[in-house]
A and B are shown apart, each in its own frame.
Chain A
Amino acid sequence: MKKSLTLLLSLIFVTSAVMTGCGGNNTTNSKGEGNTNGAAESTNAAATEEPASSEPFEMTIRHTQVGADKQKRLAILEDVVKKVESEVPGLTFKLDGVDSDVNRKEKLRGEMAAGNPPEIFDLFGSPDSKIYAKESKLLDLTPILDELGIRDKFSNLDPFTYEGKIYGLPIGGSGEGFFYNKEYYTGKGWKAPATFAELEQQLADIKADGKVPLAGASKAGWVPLMLANHLWSRYAGPDVTAKFATGEAKWTDPNVVKGFAKYKEWEDKGYFKKGELGFEYAEYTTQFTSGEAILMYDGTWKSSVFKAGQSGEGLIGKVGFFNIPPVEGGVGDQTALMRDVNNGYGFSATAAEDPRQLEAVKSFIKNLFNEEMQLRGLVEDGVLPAMKMDQNVLNENITDDLMSEIVAVLNDSGSSFPAFDSLVQADVTTEISNIQIQKLIGGQTTPEKMAEVLQKVQDEANAAVE
């Protein structure tokens, strides 16, 4: 009797546990169905000319505007969020701020694999958006852009285009060049160098003066690679990197090696901050803003630091910007500037299944990707517009000297080329960023050996694609 009772009690316990689990599951489903029905009802309601359903619903925006230097970018996003929420009844946005690298390389990838990315998220164009688009994880924005009439308003959508369809929109652009300490330059009676020889002479003189000529923080390989990329593109041509993946050009091309050799030469001459392999990117800026380093090769996004309330406030009006001067014997356009429009926003393909989410996406695109917001990005934050803008409008809005210099450099450059990591395969990027450039800096490899190793990895990557 006692035994049967225990057995019965155990059975009841396990059954109730299982039932509870299933019960919870059903509740979620029914809630989900409720939502779906709600959405369907709202669509029907719209069809019968009733006002759109204002039943509350939530969407998540994964952004990367975290940290003090990105407060202005966050403020722009928050203003857009408010506008969209007021336009779409019932909508509440949840802002999910994550570090850019963590979002790109870990969080978003995991969510894509699990099939539950946020509805709106920070997205890199190449190669990320193409991989997600191939797997139908991204919302095709082509019809939305056509409907809003802004498809041809962007200066370049190539990084976000896959098989003729657009899967993401760049929030801004950037160009890379040298920021220099104008106060120091004026004190020496110098101007921004017009020739490569002049640049090298200045570097030598700064070194002789006991200052650090170039800021250096190479713990993350992409930081030194900005300059290295520009150097090999000066020597071997702006289009050389794009040809590596197709096999039309090789890393072992003597002109590419010349670029590596020039970087190594500057390392050997002690032009970079000593111990750079142990410094984070944040310290790169500090070396420049503290006056320790006189030049810093970086993207135009860094101009936001030299604004009131930011870490480089003390250098307002004392910073200039110039492109790498032409190198002797360099191939191709010697004014070419490294420019990117590879970062922006993407949208989950699931948004297409819910008319209200789709409406929110349209409203988000309409409110973020327009002239007003692009100008705000430029003026308040130093982010170059990703959309085509009238030069007069630009001139009227730029009051900051540094930004004027940046725009002048952009206008003076005859062509542009994207950074290597959007052109070569991920394996090659990993090899050059994590190993080869750091070995070159640390004196553990030669430019020739570096080129050979890279070509080997490139050949393997090219063969894998075939």
Chain B
Amino acid sequence: MNKALRNPLVFTLFILPALILFVMFFIYPIFSSVYYSLTSWNGVSETVKYTGLSNYMKAFGDERFWISVKNNGWFILFSVCVQVPLIVFFSLLIANVKKLKGLYKTAVFMPSIMSTAVIGILWGFIYEPNIGLFNKLLEVVGIDPVYWLSDERFAMLSILITNAWQWTGFYIVMVLAAILSIPGELDEAAAIDGATGFQRATRITLPLIVPIISVVIMLSIAGAMKAADIVIVMTKGGPAGSTEVMATYMIKYAITNFKYGYGNAIAVLIFMFTLAVTVLYQLLIARRNERIEY
């Protein structure tokens, strides 16, 4: 069998089905998007007019597009700077509890299996200006109600918090698996040598789970770049376009306006930006700490 797999023809035949699927569902759509992004296709017409790079120029010259890019940037920053430290913190806490570990794991994982629509409604109640939980708490300490979703200053933050709540549990379970796979002897040896819990967490556990944290950061970046559903459910990109992200910009300014050519140009830009950010991250940070040897 090993010999047979060295035969290029057999090898090709075996990878052919997967290759066909890959081309059909990944390569072809990308090329198709690039092609349509160079046209003024309205999404319905059979005639397609070539317009060169005008769609890209239009996007680069549109202030609204850059607002949406900036908001994607907020998603990335919030994920990396706030969400990831919380993920690591809670993972370390859960890994060290003696009782009901399963319950904690299930509880934190729960939001990630809920639909975004449900989460939107749930958090809509929490952010409700009159009866919402947050404003009730503010009322207790004598602070005026905050219009979380209708005030430009708070709308983006509200979405970021909700999005983090939805996905933190998913990543905690990933990090937790990495922590629990660390040989127990390392921790025990350190404890015998007199290391405190904090020292063991920061000097032993944390360095050993760096590769999985790196994966979590990369997945968060990719997720942040394609975020759309949570924005649609919570604010529809408003108020006044202040929470628009690239994907919702694409839907609102292109697809719903019968501008599929422009929509495809935005889709290509999202792909390129995501690729650029993830490649940069891989090259500059992730590659340096890919493997841990015990």
Contact = CB atoms under 8 A, between A and B. Distances in A.
B236 interface: yes
A275 B147 contact: yes
A317 to B, nearest CB: 29
Contact of A274 (B147, B152, B237): B147
Nearest to A426: B257
Interface string A92-134: 0000000000000110010011000000000000000001101
B252 A430 contact: yes
Interface stretch (A78-86, A189-197, A391-399, A433-441): A433-441
Q: Which of B4, B64, B151, B152 has the most CB of A within 10 A?
A: B4
Interface in A271-326: 274-279
Interface in B2-17: 3-4, 7, 9-10, 13-14, 16-17
Interface string B7-31: 1011001101100000000000000
A6 B1 contact: yes
B14 A430 contact: no
B141 interface: no
B239 interface: yes
A184 to B, nearest CB: 20
Given A7-B4, A438-B238, A444-B152, A278 B129 contact: yes
A109 B3 CA distance: 52
Contacts of A131: 42, 44, 258
Q: Which of A221, A274, A277 has the most CB of B within 10 A?
A: A277
B147 A277 contact: yes
16 contacts: A2-B3, A10-B10, A11-B13, A17-B17, A105-B255, A106-B255, A106-B256, A131-B42, A131-B44, A132-B44, A275-B129, A277-B150, A426-B258, A430-B257, A435-B241, A441-B239
Interface of A: 2-3, 6-7, 10-11, 13-14, 17, 105-106, 109, 112-113, 131-132, 134-135, 137, 219-221, 274-279, 426-427, 430, 434-436, 438-439, 441-442, 444
Contacts of A277: 147, 149-151, 238-239
A278 B148 contact: yes
B10 A6 contact: yes
Contact of B236 (A105, A106, A137, A219): A219
A14 B13 contact: yes
B74 interface: no
Nearest to B1: A6
A14 B16 contact: yes
A3 B235 contact: no
A132 B42 CA distance: 10
A3 B240 contact: no
B193 interface: no
Interface string B127-147: 101100000000000000101
A345 to B, nearest CB: 19
A430 B253 contact: yes
Contact of B256 (A137, A275, A430, A436): A430
Contacts of A134: 45
Q: Which of A132, A434, A438, A442 has the most CB of B within 10 A?
A: A434
B149 A112 contact: no
B46 A135 contact: yes
Contact of A434 (B9, B17, B238, B260): B238
A2 B64 CA distance: 64
List 5 A-B pairs, minimum CB-CB distance, nearest first. Answer: A278-B150, A277-B150, A278-B149, A438-B240, A6-B4
A220 B44 contact: no
Contacts of A426: 256-258
B36 to A, nearest CB: 11
B128 to A, nearest CB: 8
Given A135-B46, A276-B150, A435 B240 contact: yes
Contacts of A6: 1, 4, 10
B223 interface: no
A366 to B, nearest CB: 29
Contact of B237 (A13, A434, A442): A434
